[in-house]
Amino acid sequence: MEASDANEARRNFHDQAGYCRELGSPFTAELCDLLGSRLDHSSRFGRRVLNWPGHARADALALRAAGAFNALARSGQVPALQEVYPPKQGDREALWHALARTIVSHDAFLHDYLDSAPQTNEVRRSSALLGGGLTIAREFGLPLSLLEIGASAGLNLGFEHYRYELGTAAYGQAGSGVVICSEWRGSAPELTTPLAVVTRRACDLNPLDAASDRDRQRVLSYIWPDQSARVETTEAAFDFAAGMPWRVEQGDAATWVEARLAEPTEAGLTRVLMHSIMWQYMPEATKERITGAMRKAGEAASLERPLAWLRMEADGRKEGAAVTLTTWPTGTDREIARADFHGRWVAWS
């Protein structure tokens, strides 16, 4: 009989396989299903997965494991994986045979790769952030001062510099190296609204350096290998961010937000806290501190010094993530859109 935590781990792999299919990655879905069904205790990697001490879903265990194999496949040093990884195609048994061989030959690497939580820094989520930024700019008519938490390598921090292909409309410089294709539906924000970002700062518990090839490769390992467009967009965003002056600071999100909001804000700027698909990974106490800090700062906000809280986060509904905006001095809170978790579409309210 397997321990209950092994059953939880296997369930996480099978659940993740379902999410991967919904989000257009049949290859990663197959990989997760195979690991969930066939991984055993014969390797250090297998034992660590099946005896995972934390909460498998909250810790994104299946994605940690998938990233480990993808890192090896991308390295070009494991021919067994290269023979079955996209763009090549193999059947289910060929994939399992390659995975099993790799577990034997690279057990220590796979075991140690599980140490870090995935950081995909999904660039297409910038589509929802752009719409939120335009909404804030239209409401207050002021430049923005951005604060981002859970920023990873900061690839979304410069969202207004990217080129967007939004279905029937477009935004940004035609010559931008980062092109984001995202279908906007519904009552979309006005694209002609002047949008300027004057300052930007960001933090993460494990910040990545956009100029570091090691950090770049780590992020790319978590992007599903049969989604080449996501890989190309992320590569381009790394190239852009590496040349920018901003870098992501290391810090606890609550402590960092409290410190930033305690700093004086300049009149004529809208201070904006933003984050995307990271709230679910934080402890409740951290969430409560951030919420309290925002409410306190909101009490001091004015039309000359407004405050906004823009977030794209899961809320338990299947139709993507909620894009929510709270603005002060009024404290108005509303859902302005729902967005695909990978930014493929944004449905504006």
SS3 (DSSP) at 342: coil
Closest by CA position to 41, among listed 49, 53, 29:
49
Angle, helix 213-221 to helix 61-75, in steps of 10 degrees: 120
SS3 (DSSP) at 322: strand
Cβ atoms 136, 144 nearer than 8 A: yes
pLDDT for 30 equals 98
In tens, the pLDDT along 41-100 reads 999 999 999 999 989 998 999 999 999 999 999 999 999 999 999 999 879 999 999 999
For residues 204-213, give the mean pLDDT.
95
10 token code pair: 């296997």
Q: Where are the domains of the chain?
A: 4-113, 123-348
pLDDT for 1 equals 34
pLDDT for 281 equals 87
Cβ atoms 321, 338 nearer than 8 A: yes
For residues 171-188, give the mean pLDDT.
95
Q: Give yes or no for residue 336 having a pLDDT over 60.
A: yes
In tens, the pLDDT along 111-135 reads 999 999 898 889 999 999 999 999 9
DSSP 32-87: HHHHHHH--TTSHHHHHHHT-SS-TTTTTHHHHHHHHHHHHHHHT--HHHHTTSTT
DSSP 125-193: GHHHHHHHHHHHHHHH-S-EEEEEES-TT-TTTTGGGSEEE-SS-EES-TT-S-EEE-EEEESPPPTTS
- Local structure of residue 17 (DSSP, 8 states): H
Q: Backbone phi, then psi, for 313, in 5-degree steps?
A: -145, 155
Q: Give yes or no for residue 172 having a pLDDT over 50.
A: yes
User: What proportion of the chain, given as a percentage, has pLDDT over 70?
Assistant: 99
The pTM for the full model equals 0.92
